[in-house]
Structures are given as C-alpha cells and as structure tokens.
C-alpha cells in the first residue's frame, strides 16, 4: 500500500515507518522538524530510514500539517491508500504555557488531514489519541466505554476533539477512522521530554530527578514494539459501523458510522518508584530523587483496558517493563556513546 505517515521523524512515526517499509509498503513521511525537543534526534531517525535497505520506498517531505495549501497539494498529488496521523504538538505540561501550539497543530492540522482523506478517497485513517482524554475519570482500568468529557489539560482536550472531528467525517462522508489512545509509550529512540529519557540522562550525569506527586503515581507504560503491533493491526482492519449502536444507550467507542476508538497499552500499570528502581538496576546507578507535589494538568494513575483491541484485531502486548527499560538503556548508552 501507499501510506502517509505524519510525524515520521517522531518517536512512534519512525518505528512505524520502519516496520511498514520492512513489510513492503511505500511510505511518504512528513514532519515539520520543530524544536519542541532535540531536532538532531529527529534527523537521526530520518537518517536511519533514508539509509536503510528499504529507503527506495521511503520519501520524506518537510511539511507542517497546519499549512492548508501544502496539505491539499500533498493529498492530491500522492493519492494515498491509507493514512496514519501521528503528527501533533505533544506534552501535557507544555500545553499549559503554550496553548496556541495545540490549536494550530492538533486542531487545524487534524482538520487538514481529515479534508485530505475526504477529498482523495483514502480507505482508512488511523490517528493518535491519548490516555490523557480520561482526565478526571477515576474508574480503573480506563475503558473505551467510559465517559471522557472532563479533560484536565488542553492537550487532552485537543485529543478528545480529534475523536469528535473524526466521528463527524465518518458520519458525513463514510470515511473509516480509528482513534488509538496511547498509554505512556517508551523505548529506543524515545522522546527526550518523557520521564524515562529525562531520568536516564539525569542519573547518568549524577543529577537529581524530579519525582512528582512524591512518587505516588501509576502509569501503564507501553513498549514501542507493542504500540507498533497495535497500530498495524488496526490499520489493516476493515472498519465498519456498529449496527447495534443506539442513541438511547450510546457506546462511546463505536457508532453507526465507520468509526472506532481503542485503548492501546500494556494493561499492567507500574508504580513510579518501582519504575525508577528498574531503571536504576538497568543503569547500575542510584537516582537522586527530588520529591515534589503533583503538577497541574497531570493525572495520578493510568491503566488501560485493551480488551476491545484484543478482541477486534488480536492485539497482545508482550514486553515486560524490565525488558523494555533495558532495551531503552542499551540504546541510550550506545547512541550517546556513554
């Protein structure tokens, strides 16, 4: 297939492009290479894709999804079979100080992707949502059947908005769409703004790590290979409407339209202090902990119910936190020559 991957220089976009190329798909990757985090790391990911044995099937275009004219031209010229939309302004805490970045990328950019799919007969749009949409929800594990109308950050609100926008296009134009709520993705080539990367860097440099909510957090950390498995299985399925859906008792995860929402996580929440202990073991060094209160916009716990994704497409997360952290540490030490 000919597939558009937005955010191809990003953490998940890089791994997904690598997988799809290996199985024989043709990939057009776009990214604006912004400086939200180290552009050098993004470029290094692209260099890996462009120098691989499958590089002849990969084309990269530097492009901002918020640029309407450029996006219209891209979709018209390339005529994609399917689209995986991963480009977004990420980060819960960053959204508190930089709200306009989320409107431009996550709302305007997503609209441009939807319009491109609508006007160019794209067979299936898979897009990144987030566990952040659960917000003030306290029912564990988080289920796609739960109400998610109380986000606690603008980032979360923008992702919930994406799900609603996608439903509108699925309803009006019969565009098949699948939203995947990612739960704390980690692994080699990961983002420097995420806890695992920041903790590893600080511990290696004998600096203190900031431990929010005094470590009384649980996160459903999901290894990158498991995330890619879930994306690809979702991408390959034929999305159909749910004929049993009723507006009298509406299921928030399905519709009469060809629209689906799934959680994609490890389904094994890990206490933050245990997570740090596992990292200390992998590095062979103890962390200096700076214990701090809860940050604004954060949620205390995340825990994914992935039963719908398992039932519908056969998703099965396989990587333990010990295996995943070791793989990240091995990559980090090699990449930075430590």
56: CB partners within 8 A, 6+ apart: none
Tally Cβ neighbours within 10 Å of residue 281. 14
DSSP per-residue string spanning 83-99: EEE------TTHHHH-H
Q: Are strands 222-223 and 185-186 parallel, antiparallel or unpaired?
A: parallel
- Token code pair at residue 104: 């431009």
Residue 89 in contact with residue 153, Cβ under 8 Å? no
Q: Which of 94, 155, 212, 223 is catalytic?
A: 155
CA–CA separation, 231 and 82 (whole Å): 12
333: CB partners within 8 A, 6+ apart: none
CA–CA separation, 25 and 145 (whole Å): 33
Biggest CA-to-CA distance, the chain: 59
Is-catalytic flag, 212?
no
Report the SS3 class of residue 245.
Answer: coil
For helices 321-335 and 195-204, what crossing angle results, to 10°?
60
Q: Which residues belong to the active site?
A: 155
């Amino acid at each position: 297939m000919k597939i558009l991957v937005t955010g191809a220089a990003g953490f998940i976009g890089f791994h997904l492009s690598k997988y799809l190329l290996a199985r024989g798909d043709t990939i057009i990757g776009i990214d604006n290479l912004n400086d939200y985090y180290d552009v050098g790391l993004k470029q290094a990911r692209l260099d890996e894709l462009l120098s691989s044995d499958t590089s002849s099937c990969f084309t990269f275009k530097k492009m901002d999804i918020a640029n309407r004219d450029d996006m219209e031209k891209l979709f018209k010229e390339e005529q994609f079979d399917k689209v995986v939309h991963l480009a977004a302004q990420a980060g819960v805490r960053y959204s508190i100080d930089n709200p306009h970045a989320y409107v431009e990328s996550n709302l305007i950019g997503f609209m441009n992707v939807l319009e491109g799919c609508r006007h160019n007969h794209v067979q299936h749009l898979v897009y990144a949502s987030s566990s952040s949409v659960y917000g003030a929800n306290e029912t564990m594990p988080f289920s796609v059947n739960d109400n998610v109308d109380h986000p606690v950050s603008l980032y979360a609100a923008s992702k919930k908005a994406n799900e609603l926008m996608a439903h509108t296009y699925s309803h009006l134009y019969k565009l098949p769409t699948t939203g995947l709520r990612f739960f704390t993705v980690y692994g080699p080539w990961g983002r420097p703004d995420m806890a695992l990367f920041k903790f590893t860097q600080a511990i290696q440099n004998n600096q203190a790590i900031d431990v929010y909510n005094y470590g009384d957090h649980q996160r459903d950390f999901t290894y990158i290979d498991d995330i890619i498995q879930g994306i690809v299985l979702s991408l390959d399925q034929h999305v159909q409407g749910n004929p049993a859906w009723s507006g009298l008792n509406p299921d928030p995860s399905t519709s009469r339209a060809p629209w689906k929402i799934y959680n994609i996580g490890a389904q094994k929440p890990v206490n933050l202090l245990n997570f740090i202990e596992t990292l200390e073991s992998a590095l062979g060094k103890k962390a200096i902990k700076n214990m701090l209160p809860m940050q604004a916009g954060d949620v205390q716990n995340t825990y994914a119910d992935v039963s719908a994704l398992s039932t519908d497409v056969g998703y099965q997360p396989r990587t333990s936190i010990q295996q995943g952290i070791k793989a990240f540490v091995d990559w980090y030490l090699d990449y930075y020559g430590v």
